[in-house]
Amino acid sequence: MGVLISIGIIFLSGVVTPGFLTVNSQPAGLPVYVEGEKVGLAPVEKYQLEPGRYWVTVVPNDSLERLYETVRAGRLGQRLTALWTLARIDAASAQVEVFPGMETRVEISSRLMEKSACRAKWLFGGSVFGLFSLGTVVGLVIGMAVN
């Protein structure tokens, strides 16, 4: 009963009980961002936040701004390398919910990041091969129709 009264008093007074976020990464030492703001290097332990939903991202040591600029203006090889890195970053992002007075834990592994970059390469390669194959078939069909 006393706990309910305490919660009611906190609720009515407008004071929000913070929650906590702990982020681990494999490997350790990667920069951790919450909603785009750098909060430290992994592992980040019991980072205090207001209750709510947040995007948490563990980023390799590449600057996001530099990656975006490379995708926009770099040579083809540089663009592809930047895209693979962005695929790893996407795999290293998670939406989490922080609850009042509780700790939310996030674990992000480099294995998952590398699998995502590999998958992106396969999708790209498959797309290029598919377009090449389609062009070949269309060329053959047109060539036979003309002759």
For residues 14 and 87, which has the higher predicted lDDT (pLDDT)? 87
Residue type, 77: G
Please check whether residue 106 is in contact with residue 22, taking contact to mean a CB–CB distance below 8 angstroms: yes
Is the pLDDT assigned to residue 78 strictly greater than 70?
Answer: yes
What was the pLDDT predicted at 103?
95
Closest alpha carbon to 43 in 89, 106, 110, 112: 106
Residue with the bigger pLDDT between 134 and 17: it is 17
To which H or E segment does residue 3 belong? helix 2-13
- The tens digit of pLDDT for each residue in 39-70 reads 999 999 999 999 999 988 887 665 666 777 88
Q: What Cα–Cα distance (Å) separates residue 50 from each residue in 27, 53, 57, 93, 98? A: 28, 9, 18, 19, 7
At residue 76, the pLDDT reads 83
Name the nearest CA neighbour of 34 among 59, 16, 62, 10. Answer: 59
Give the residue-averaged pLDDT of 99-124: 73
